[in-house]
Homo-oligomer: A and B are copies of this chain.
Amino acid sequence: MEFKDFLWSLITIYVCARVMGELAARLGQSAVLGELLAGVLVGSSVLGWVEQTETLKLLGEIGVMLLLFEVGLASDLQSFLKVGWSAVAVASIGMVTPFVLGYGLAITLDMTQLQAIFVGATLTATSVAISARVLFDLGKLKTQEGNIILGAAVIDDILGLVALSVIVGLAESGTVSWLEIGRTAGLAILFLVTAIIVGIRYAHLFSHLINRMLTRGRLVVAATTFALVLGYAAELVHIAPLVGAFAAGLVLARTEHQVHIEERIKPVADVFVPIFFVLIGTNVDVSYFNPFASQNWPILLLAGGLTIAAVIGKLAAGLGVVGEKANRWTIGVGMLPRGEVGLIFAAVGLSQEIIAEGEYGAILVVVVLTTLVSPVLLKLAFKRA
């Protein structure tokens, strides 16, 4: 990629994301909706101004890590632990019901067992990035609902890891090694617990180190590096790097530097984050939504059914709330967006030739709809509650 083209892509992303984000804000919506739609617009299926290059994707990944790092920094571990059981219940119900509904629908439509498992599995994962960003934009990060949604989304990521292991196992060898999967899941949980406990225990060393540095940018670079390190470690145990970055934020939230780190990480996040959401948007192929192309009808019908299954399944997750004073609808809505995780599942299915282009297209539509609709619904839900 030429530097000139790279500059041009960045300029396009920033300008379009800003314009659409401002527009969304003026319509009373979260700016992230505008950024996602900006991505749809500049993507290859409409204007074709921004191509998903390797560099942009890597920057987007850093962006979503910084977003979750910032969310972690602004959060309070105690309030997460308090809603722990609710979060586990919400995550579990939010995994099981969409799976069962999706599986059932697929079987009804005469798909094979394996296909049905795939389709069900793609409906299970929540994309924490969208919900976190909307909660942020709405200033609802520290509500009971916000804590349960974020907590459940993190647990969801670990459950998603299990689901992905299962379907990859099924796809590659037709069998599932539960021992192996238990080991994988155990490692992920172990990592998270250790990172947070050890992190908080030794966070003062981090403060101490920063206090002894003389050169410029010590706070922002040290904090960013810490987030990258935990993100890297998360990758090693096969969970999403953004979960590691979130843990890093939770840890640094308990240091004396919390306010200053937040202040300095914000502008850095502002520069990286739009790249992520715009790129998510560029994944959308609007041609699937054209009702005048008759080859789209079966895809749209399947997509419609799956979307209903996906929405009902995640709304049911709100039932998992036990005891806390929290609005169950809001939590269900907060678990709606599927984002990139569903895409990864579907891509595995397509590459292993378990599902065909049509089913793949339908899953894309589900991801798009749940992702675009949840910022709007979440705002509405908080307003009502």
Give chain A's interface residues, CB within 8 Å of chain B.
1, 3-4, 6-8, 10-11, 14-15, 18, 21-22, 25-26, 31, 54-55, 58-59, 61-62, 137, 213-218, 220-222, 224-225, 228-229, 231-232, 235-236, 241, 264-271, 274
Contacts and interface: CB of A to CB of B under 8 A. Distances in A.
A279 to B, nearest CB: 13
A46 B6 CA distance: 30
Contacts of A269: 217
Contact of A10 (B31, B228, B266): B228
Contact of A217 (B8, B15, B235, B266): B266
Contacts of A215: 18, 21-22, 25, 31
A217 B221 CA distance: 19
Q: Is the interface of A mostly helix, strand, loop or mixed?
A: helix
25 contacts: A1-B54, A3-B58, A3-B61, A6-B58, A7-B228, A7-B231, A10-B62, A11-B229, A14-B221, A14-B224, A18-B213, A18-B218, A18-B222, A22-B214, A25-B214, A31-B216, A54-B55, A55-B55, A216-B270, A217-B266, A217-B269, A217-B270, A217-B271, A220-B270, A268-B271
A232 B4 contact: yes
A323 B7 CA distance: 41
Contacts of A224: 14, 271
Contacts of A3: 58, 61, 235, 241
Contacts of A267: 217, 220, 264-265, 267-268
Contacts of A4: 232, 235-236
Contacts of A218: 18
A62 B13 CA distance: 15
A251 to B, nearest CB: 16
Contacts of A228: 7, 10-11, 14
Contacts of A274: 221
Contact of A14 (B18, B225, B271): B225
A220 B267 CA distance: 6
Contacts of A8: 232
A37 to B, nearest CB: 14
Contacts of A14: 221, 224-225, 228
Contacts of A266: 216-217
A179 to B, nearest CB: 25
Contacts of A7: 228, 231-232, 235, 241
